[in-house]
Structure 1
Amino acid sequence: MTTHHPNTRRLVYGHATNYDCLAFVDGDTAAGEAAEIRALAAARKWGEARQVQMTHLSNPAGPECYEEDDYPDDAPFDITELGAVVEMSWPKMVTARGLDVLPQDLQDRYGEVVLTVHDGEYLRVPLDGEAELVAELRERGYEVTRDDDLINLLDGLGLGSVTA
């Protein structure tokens, strides 16, 4: 693992397939979030799904979402049938995170805010701005890594085929 200055902002970005644009996320939490998504996707019974420990994300199979009476612990679990996943409200739209992690002036220059009917707004960063934007972030001291698979996993793409 590369060492980095404690004040360095780490970003992971990639091509978000669902939106056909670049998405930027916090590099310090991305791997942990991905592990939580993989763990929930790997659950085969409701009991397992309920017990997945979530630090970064909320558990859409957790007790605040579903009663145990509705789905006993030994009932089969399929992440693609969860209401929040079907509605595409979990995990949070990956392209919305750029609004939190990118400096405002770079959002204005390289992206555009798009308002969706159901999920609020997200930052659309066209693919052709990648080289310039990444260069500018690095000049400002950001550590920037491209990982398309991670970005799309964080967006919930292909959850049914995710294995732990």
Structure 2
Amino acid sequence: MTTHHPTTRSLVYGHAQLHDCLAFADASTAAEEAAEIQALAAARTWGEARQVRMTHLWNPAGPECYEPEDGYPDDRPFEINEVGSVVEGDWPPMVTARASELLPRDLQRQFGSREGTALNGDYLEIPLDRESDLVAALRERGYEVTRDDKLINVLDGPLAG
């Protein structure tokens, strides 16, 4: 029987440039999520964008959001930073918000501060100078922690990079 933890025990983290602080993601899904974001960003037409399969995220260019008959035919050139939910910051979800789910509450309070955004909710701001202490505290608790700035910034979305 497996024990379920409220959070993953394997984390990837890095310097999230958009909020200029540390951000954390679930290492077991982060690379797949990043591949989904990159696949959508690489689509050249709305038809291609609609076909991008999402396992971890929802497709903001998908048929439930943009129909060909609404002026988005399959052959229309696609630019991810023109998609409404991307422009509004709703997709992909803010990478800096994930720490609130992934990190133990006491470490959130010790190392970060909850900050709000005008449109996209709260995130945990963890100053860059707290990195070594926070990583050490996580490792003491049995977390596997790996730094990957590029991956974290891909997860934060096309506008961030």
Tell me the TM-score normalized by structure 1: 0.90
> Which residue of structure 2 aligns with residue 143 of structure 1?
144
Read off the aligned partner of 1:102 and give its amino acid letter: L
Determine the C-alpha separation between the residues in 2 that align with 1:116 and 1:76: 31
Q: Does 1:29 align with 2:29?
A: yes
- Alignment RMSD, CA only? 1.7
Please identify runs of 4+ aligned residues in structure 1 that moved more than 6 A: none
Kindly indicate whether the alpha-carbon contact (under 8 Å) linking 2:60 and 2:91 is maintained by their aligned counterparts in 1.
yes
Q: Deviations over 1:8-42 (max 9, x none)?
A: 71100000101111001111110010000010011
Q: How many residues align?
A: 155
Match status 1:11 vs 2:17? no
Which residue identity is paired with 1:149? K
Distance 1:105 1:72 in 2: 50
- Report the equivalent of 2:127: 126
Give the secondary-structure state (helix, strand or coil) at the position aligned to 2:68: coil
Deviation at residue 157 of structure 1 after TM alignment: 4.5
The match for 2:111 is 110
Partner of 2:96: 95
Q: TM-score with structure 2 length normalisation?
A: 0.91
Give 5+ residue unaligned stretches, structure 1.
Answer: 1-6
Deviation of residue 158 (structure 1)? 4.7
Work out whether residues 115 and 124 of structure 2, in 8 Å CA contact, stay in contact via their aligned partners in 1: yes
User: Structure 1's 157 and 38: CA in aligned 2 closer, same or farther, altered over 3 A?
Assistant: closer
- For 1:59 and 1:21, locate their aligned partners in 2 and report how far apart those are by CA, in whole Å: 27
Structure 2, unmatched stretches of 5+, are none
Would you say the 8 A contact 2:40–2:49 is kept in 1? yes
The sequence identity of aligned pairs, in percent, is: 66
119 and 10 in structure 1: CA distance in 2 versus 1, 3 angstrom threshold: same
Match of residue 48 from structure 1: 48
